Structure 1
Amino acid sequence: MEPTDVGEVQTVALHGHDRAYVVAGSGPAVLLIHGIGSRHETWLPIMGELAKKYTVIAPDLLGHGQSAKPRADYSIGGYANGLRDLLTYLGIDRVSVVGHSLGGGIAMQFAYQFPQRTDRVVLIGTGGLGPEVNPIIPLCTFPGAGLTLSALAAAPIRRIGVPLLRTLHRTGLPMTADLAELAIVYDDMGTVDARQAFSHVIRAIVDWRGQIVTMKDRAYLTEYIPTMVLWGERDTVIPVAHAQVAREVLAHARVEVLPGAGHFPQAEFPEAVSEALLDFFATTEPARFNATLWDRAMKRANSPIYDTLPDQDEVII
């Protein structure tokens, strides 16, 4: 097991597959969920600050980092189930869930599936708010994409490509804002199992037209859960215009656009992200789940007849 700046990387076998994770700090629990092709290290710049007041859990999702990369369920719902099981193993009942990119979609799915375990939701450059995405990502679903990725991930090519991406990032041009972090994703594609897992995840969430998984149809179910959305102004992976979509479908949410940040603000501007998270946690109360009101909200949203009934005295809190 490798040490990190905030603690030792631990591994537990859940349902026959190793899951790697880091835990730091003490206090109310905060679960950090990384994006596709990434790993728990993307959170290291903010974990130390959060750990001063909270128990922070940062796993490597199945198929990523030091976790196993089996032929398995890489759906959004499957990931939410796996995180629930990890939390159960750790003896943690409730969490504030923070998700980045793909992890944002997983965070919302976790809130839908396990509302009784969700204190708050934070979405950073999240997927699931529209089909638009960097055009390179849908290309990864095309026939023959696996062979192309294998060729590009060959060690001699990566030895040139990774430094090149980092050099381009240092130019400071808007279109290069995310290349330093994407270089890490690219460098992790060096093994067959990593590439296969990446392909499985991509095909679960994207097709040739863009993102296929949406949170917009069920966003109303989180209206009683304190929610915050952060977006980098210069995001080159998922457009910052989706922050406005978040304002529309998550009307109860706090939405902030971070000037100068790209798709990975937790790595680029850790102080700003830490400050935003700590303020959000400190100024909101954990959600209180009420099964009756959850059921009423679902029926009201999906039944025209139910929606004509008089409002009840109860409100979702």
Structure 2
Amino acid sequence: MPLETFSLTLHGRRVRVREHRPGGHRPDEAVVLLHGIAGCAQTWSPVLRRLEEGGFSHRVLAPDLPGHGGSDSPRADYGLGTTASAVRDLLALSGVRHATVVGHSLGGGIAMQFAYQFPHLCDRLMLVSSGGLGREVGFALRAATLPGAGAFLTLTVNRGTLALSRALARTARALGGRLSPESRELARHLGSLADPGRRRAFLAITRGLLDLRGQRGSALEKLYLSAGVPIRILWGARDPLIPVAHGRRAAGRFPEIRLTVMENAKHFPHVLDPGRFCGELTEFVEGTEAARVDVHDVAARLLAAGETPGPAEKLS
């Protein structure tokens, strides 16, 4: 069956989804691809095409997260927990009961939050140039937390500046110039902020997760709760937005995590080399056993880590 795009209504708001649904797949299991901030499911288009051409035998869902792409952009909470819950609800409506969750950048942070909130649903985790594993991020992201960032984006990223940029790009192509796949992807992400709703969501997310020093929180302190869940990390060695050192640190702390570094890639390794990415994803899904974690497993890990329950306090 060819790739399909459809929309569904979730809590009164539209969510757009791209899907690969091969014949003979298990409908209650899926691979879920979560894009990064200011992106959309289009970032996975090269991957989805390769998976389809290669006969990938698993169902794949790639949603436009709330506030992004073709999904609605309401004035709302865009925190990791709320978005992870939206992914849970999307899977429930789609009949999925177990998922391999693949997250790029912000999507990686959402993927880890999903595994933390809904461990019984998470078969595997694949983190791609992921947020949530360290403090450092590029200045462009930190600058979005400054006062006046919204006004600056309104003035510099709008329909007029996008039209000018496209005209310059056409001229450059006519003269023989061309952008790399990753540069085009970054430009597409930036261009999405010309839409007021997406720009509002972008600012809400950055201000909720970042400050001028970088990322406020780290998922590393809770990642031990995913013991037994296969985890793969893939990163570009030249990533200017989130350093590969974050992936190395996570893999060093948890030896069961396998880290793959793509030497020529920057922040979008799945766009630069979708063939290699699909090979990594296919090997990961088909070469590992799906986790089946329940609340008893989580409780055991909390207790083993010293998170012992204290005596109940009397209420006055």
Q: Same fold (TM over 0.5)?
A: yes
- CA 1:300/1:93 → structure 2, altered by over 3 Å: closer, same or farther? same
Per-residue deviation, 1:25: 2.2
Unaligned runs of 5+ in 1: 307-317
Aligned equivalent of 2:80, options 76, 79, 98: 76
C-alpha deviations, 1:162-197, integer Å up to 9, x for none? 6768969x788xxx8843211001211222112111
What's 2:38 paired with?
Answer: 37
Instruction: Tell me if structure 2 keeps the 8 A contact 1:6–1:48.
Output: no
Q: Within the alignment, does 1:262 sit opposite 2:263 as a pair?
A: no
Aligned equivalent of 2:139, options 135, 138, 162: 135
In the alignment, the residues of structure 1 paired with residue 43 and residue 274 of structure 2 have an alpha-carbon distance, to the nearest angstrom, of 10
Q: What SS class does the counterpart of residue 142 from structure 1 fall into? A: coil
Per-residue deviation, 1:284: 0.5
Q: Within the alignment, does 1:252 sit opposite 2:256 as a pair?
A: yes
Q: Within the alignment, does 1:11 sit opposite 2:7 as a pair?
A: yes
Q: What SS class does the counterpart of residue 217 from structure 1 fall into? A: helix
TM-score normalized with structure 1 length: 0.88
- CA 1:221/1:263 → structure 2, altered by over 3 Å: closer, same or farther? same
What's 1:218 paired with?
Answer: 222
What's 1:155 paired with?
Answer: 159
In the alignment, the residues of structure 1 paired with residue 169 and residue 292 of structure 2 have an alpha-carbon distance, to the nearest angstrom, of 45
C-alpha deviations, 1:87-124, integer Å up to 9, x for none? 00011100100000000011111111111111100000
- CA 1:171/1:10 → structure 2, altered by over 3 Å: closer, same or farther? closer
Instruction: Tell me if structure 1 keeps the 8 A contact 2:103–2:110.
Output: yes
TM-score normalized with structure 2 length: 0.88
In the alignment, the residues of structure 2 paired with residue 59 and residue 15 of structure 1 have an alpha-carbon distance, to the nearest angstrom, of 15
In the alignment, the residues of structure 1 paired with residue 252 and residue 7 of structure 2 have an alpha-carbon distance, to the nearest angstrom, of 40
Q: What SS class does the counterpart of residue 9 from structure 1 fall into? A: strand
What's 1:294 paired with?
Answer: 298
Identity %: 37
In the alignment, the residues of structure 2 paired with residue 293 and residue 304 of structure 1 have an alpha-carbon distance, to the nearest angstrom, of 15
In the alignment, the residues of structure 2 paired with residue 94 and residue 275 of structure 1 have an alpha-carbon distance, to the nearest angstrom, of 22
Aligned equivalent of 1:235, options 228, 239, 242: 239
What's 1:23 paired with?
Answer: 19
C-alpha deviations, 1:231-275, integer Å up to 9, x for none? 011111111111211212333111110121111111110001000
What's 1:50 paired with?
Answer: 51
- CA 1:231/1:100 → structure 2, altered by over 3 Å: closer, same or farther? same
Unaligned runs of 5+ in 2: 311-316
With CA pairs under 8 Å and 6+ residues apart, which has the higher RCO, 1 or 2?
2
Q: How does 1:88-107 map to 2 (within 5 A)?
A: 88-107=92-111
Letter in 1 for 2:15: R
Root-mean-square deviation (CA, aligned residues, Å) is 2.3
Instruction: Tell me if structure 1 keeps the 8 A contact 2:9–2:15.
Output: yes
Instruction: Tell me if structure 2 keeps the 8 A contact 1:133–1:239.
Output: yes
What's 1:123 paired with?
Answer: 127
What's 1:309 paired with?
Answer: none
Letter in 1 for 2:164: I
- CA 1:155/1:276 → structure 2, altered by over 3 Å: closer, same or farther? same
Aligned equivalent of 2:210, options 195, 206, 212: 206
Q: Within the alignment, does 1:272 sit opposite 2:262 as a pair?
A: no
Instruction: Tell me if structure 1 keeps the 8 A contact 2:50–2:274.
Output: no
Q: What SS class does the counterpart of residue 218 from structure 1 fall into? A: helix
